[in-house]
A = this chain, B = another copy of it.
Amino acid sequence: MTPTSPSALCAQYGIDFPLFAFSHCRDVVAAVTNAGGFGVLGGAAFTPEQLDRELIWIDQHVHGKPYGVDIIVPAKFEGKGERLSKADLAARIPQDYRDYIDNLLREHGIEPDPTPRTGAPVLAGGTGSDLLQVALSHPIKLMANALGVPPDYMIEAGREHGIPVAALVGAKEHAVKQVAAGVDLIVAQGTEAGGHCGEVSTLVVVPEVIEALAAIGSSTPVLAAGGIVTGRQMAASVALGAAGAWTGSVWLTTEEAETEPHTVAKMLAASSRDTVRSAGRTGKPSRQLVSDWTDAWAPTSGQQPLPLPLQNMLSEPVLRRVDALAAQGHEGAQALATYFVGQGVGLMNKVRPARDVVLEFIEDYVAATERLSRSLPD
């Protein structure tokens, strides 16, 4: 059984070039879709009303071209199955964790909030089904879940509406499980990816996933993800057997992105060694820019992060304040601020329109293909 080819995938999804772009920014999603790729809006941080507004805007700008929506619904989290309220969950955050963060803030010249704030358990999947209902009222052509096996209601809604369901995996065992659960598109994501990621590199996990799916007789298409910010890396992924690429980080420094200028500056200056895989933000390992915050939760720091979603509820309100201060030029806050991004940040060296990024991807992909072809004797 051979996996779906790039051209078959393009035909299936109605696109010219199998470049999938994950972004929280509607402008990026529309620009990529309009340039012949496939934009996917990260919807998890929106309320249902906000998501509806974003998708209306996208519908008005893509003129029927295909796009998708990604909603994060983790398979495992603290309090799962217990129907806990935000207050119940907040009560599980130990006081010494709040003290630890307050000290960290003071060391960086930031006065802690007098009353402790707690973020919403957004990653606990509470609003996933509401967001999905909103998404289904738009002509989406893909729904994705970036964290674990998609919930039954997503798979069922996909079947009912004839919309393919994608899922991100970082290991071959997960790919096999997801395909068995009914997932239509596997994103095999390497450890170099920004955000939640596994330990295995893209160069290894992509062929490993493809081999594992072939062994169970599945031809489910596999996209490569993790570290891919250029067309040559996308070509490498197709050489590995992938049907295309799933990207995220590269869109953060586009003109359209809503990334704060000081964060953009940090990313443009960063080398690939300026990211770290840390559980200090959400409670699950995710890759982000190295900062005093990630150092504070390093395995050698003595302070182990809480599980998902507690760590996230604890850290998000603080990190939002830190981001706001950093944007105003506060030095301590800038040393603490971090941002989800992959190792590909080392190759992200200028701000460009999203459309130009797609066009450069295509050009670079073609050049890489020709380079590889020329390496064979005539």
Interface residues of A (CB under 8 A from B): 5-7, 171-173, 190-192, 198-205, 207-208, 211, 226-228, 230, 232-233, 235-241, 271-273, 298-300, 304, 343-344, 346-347, 366, 368-369, 371-377
What is the CA–CA distance of A238 and B227 in the complex, to the nearest angstrom?
Answer: 17
**Residue ID in chain B nearest A373 by CB atoms:** B373
Q: Which one of B304, B343, B366, B368 lies within 8 Å of A240 (CB-CB)?
A: B368
Instruction: Check if B372 sits within 8 Å of A239, measured CB to CB.
Output: yes
With A200-B192, A208-B346 already in contact, the answer to whether A372 and B374 are too (CB < 8 A) is no
Which residues of the other chain, B, contact A298 by a CB distance below 8 angstroms? 299
Q: Which one of B173, B191, B235, B271 lies within 8 Å of A201 (CB-CB)?
A: B191
CB distance from A243 to the nearest CB of B (A): 9
Which residues of the other chain, B, contact A173 by a CB distance below 8 angstroms? 271
CB distance from A11 to the nearest CB of B (A): 12
Instruction: Check if A226 sits within 8 Å of B200, measured CB to CB.
Output: no
Instruction: Check if B236 sits within 8 Å of A203, measured CB to CB.
Output: yes
Which residues of the other chain, B, contact A172 by a CB distance below 8 angstroms? 271-272, 346
A interface, over-half SS: helix
Q: Which one of B200, B211, B238, B373 lies within 8 Å of A343 (CB-CB)?
A: B200
Name 7 extra pairs, CB < 8 A, besides A199-B273, A201-B227.
Answer: A5-B374, A7-B375, A191-B201, A198-B273, A200-B346, A208-B272, A298-B299
CB distance from A93 to the nearest CB of B (A): 21
With A5-B375, A238-B375, A239-B235 already in contact, the answer to whether A203 and B192 are too (CB < 8 A) is yes
Which residues of the other chain, B, contact A235 by a CB distance below 8 angstroms? 236, 239, 372
**Residue ID in chain B nearest A244 by CB atoms:** B375
Interface centre among A239, A368, A373, A376 (most CB of B within 10 A): A239
Instruction: Check if A203 sits within 8 Å of B201, measured CB to CB.
Output: yes
CB distance from A363 to the nearest CB of B (A): 12
Instruction: Check if A371 sits within 8 Å of B191, measured CB to CB.
Output: no
Instruction: Check if B232 sits within 8 Å of A374, measured CB to CB.
Output: no
Instruction: Check if B203 sits within 8 Å of A226, measured CB to CB.
Output: yes
**Residue ID in chain B nearest A346 by CB atoms:** B208
With A171-B271, A299-B299 already in contact, the answer to whether A238 and B372 are too (CB < 8 A) is yes
**Residue ID in chain B nearest A233 by CB atoms:** B203
Selected A-B contacts with CB under 8 Å, 8 pairs: A7-B377, A200-B346, A201-B201, A201-B227, A204-B227, A204-B347, A236-B236, A300-B300
Instruction: Check if A171 sits within 8 Å of B273, measured CB to CB.
Output: yes
Which residues of the other chain, B, contact A199 by a CB distance below 8 angstroms? 273
Instruction: Check if B190 sits within 8 Å of A201, measured CB to CB.
Output: yes
With A227-B201, A239-B235, A271-B171 already in contact, the answer to whether A369 and B372 are too (CB < 8 A) is yes
Which residues of the other chain, B, contact A240 by a CB distance below 8 angstroms? 232-233, 236, 368
What is the CA–CA distance of A238 and B233 in the complex, to the nearest angstrom?
Answer: 10
CB distance from A36 to the nearest CB of B (A): 12
